[in-house]
Structure 1
Amino acid sequence: MATVELRFSAQPEHVRTARLVAAAVARRAGVEEAVLDEVRLAVGEACSRAVGLHRSHGITAPVRVVLAEEEKTFSIEVGDEVPASGTGSTAVSADGAGAEGADTDGAEAEDEMGLAVISGLVDDVEVSTTEDGGVIRMSWPVASVVAAP
């Protein structure tokens, strides 16, 4: 089973590259052509979310994207390094202010909107957060017969 790992600095301009790589790898894995736009949009949304979280929390570590071709599915994991205590409604610094003084209600609403978009695009999606960061795992079925390149 093939796996591709992509890491990029948390800059919005790199999200486009992640979308293009995800679509290319998904096509190669056998994801139906009609679903590739959904893959591209979902990956773009997940990567944009991770970039936003990194930037708003001052994290310089790269965003991780793991694309894996499994027996009957193609999965993508987009990971950030924002600890569970730094996401959602708990995105508050030690002094009680939002990250860099940002409006945490606005950031939380934007985060929820991004997750809602992803959920609307992907039937099989899991969102998890730990002390090490968050991961959005998405998967799609692959065609049983893949044409040779």
Structure 2
Amino acid sequence: MPTVELRFSAQPEHVRTARLVAAAVARRAGVDEAVLDEVRLAVGEACSRAVGLHRSHDIATPVTVVLTEDEKAFSIEVGDGLLAPGNGSPVPGVAGGGGPDDPETDADTEDEMGLAVISGLVDDVEVRTGADGGVIRMTWPTNPAVVLP
């Protein structure tokens, strides 16, 4: 069950809010302080990617961010809704990707670069697509709370 779930319209100004919420929940979940900047950057990159996909494909559904605190891990899933029913196009570059003159080619390159940045920041990353769209799941280990006598 999610600890926190955010849904926001695909506006770049909402990415900052998602980053701040993710860092606060990660801190509370026990993610190491030294890793919080990586959490912020990775969430910012994933949300910016989702916002870009929504805007370039005229998707009206909100971007979703699900933050889940488990016993030994903290995970964040950023969903883009690109493959959701009624949203038209598949993920850029997957099916029907165009040639070098296709305007989506630049978006594909930017998308791949964003995924590379996320993979460099987070050790445990999963990218998947399904009926609800594309999802980037990022997971960090947590430190159990120390109980003082």
Short-chain TM bin: 0.7 to 0.9
Structure 1 portions without partners, runs of 5+: none
Deviations 1:75-101 (A, max 9, x none): 0000011018521314769xx79xxx9
CA contact (8 A) 2:2 2:66 kept: no
Distance (whole Å) between structure 1 residues aligned to residue 56 and residue 146 of structure 2: 42
Task: Give the percent of matched residue pairs that are identical in Structure 1 and Structure 2.
Answer: 73
Kindly indicate whether the alpha-carbon contact (under 8 Å) linking 2:126 and 2:136 is maintained by their aligned counterparts in 1.
yes
The equivalent residue for 1:86 is 90
Q: Partner of 2:44 in structure 1?
A: 44
The 4+ residue runs of structure 1 with deviation greater than 6 A are none
Deviation per CA, 1:79-126: give whole Å up to 9, x if none.
011018521314769xx79xxx97111000000000000000000000
Q: Residue type of the partner of 1:80?
A: D
- The structure that is helix-richer by fraction is 1
Deviations 1:34-92 (A, max 9, x none): 00000000000000000001111101111000000001000000001101852131476
CA distance 1:146–1:127, shift in 2 (3 Å): farther
d(CA) in 1 for partners of 2:146, 2:7: 28
Q: Does structure 1 conserve the Cα–Cα contact (< 8 Å) formed by 2:76 and 2:139?
A: yes
How many residues in Structure 1 have an aligned counterpart in Structure 2? 143
Whole-Å separation in 2 of the counterparts to 1:132 and 1:32: 31
Whole-Å separation in 2 of the counterparts to 1:87 and 1:13: 23
Aligned residue type for 1:3: T
Distance 2:107 2:131 in 1: 20
CA distance 1:55–1:145, change in 2 (3 Å) = same
In structure 2, relative to structure 1, the CA distance for the partners of 1:39 and 1:135 (3 Å cut) is same
Instruction: Name the residue aligned to 1:30.
Output: 30
Question: Does the residue aligned with 1:86 lie in a helix, a strand or coil?
Answer: coil
Is the 1:7–1:64 Cα contact (8 Å) retained in structure 2?
Answer: yes
* CA RMSD, Structure 1 to Structure 2 (Å): 2.5
Q: Quick one: structure 1 residues 14 and 129, their matched pair in 2 at CA, closer, same or farther if it must change by over 3 Å?
A: same
CA deviation after TM superposition for structure 1 residue 145, in Å:
2.2
Q: Structure 2 unaligned runs (5+)?
A: none
Cα separation, 1, equivalents of 2:102 and 2:51? 16
- Residue 125 (structure 2) aligns with: 125
Q: TM-score, normalised by structure 2?
A: 0.87
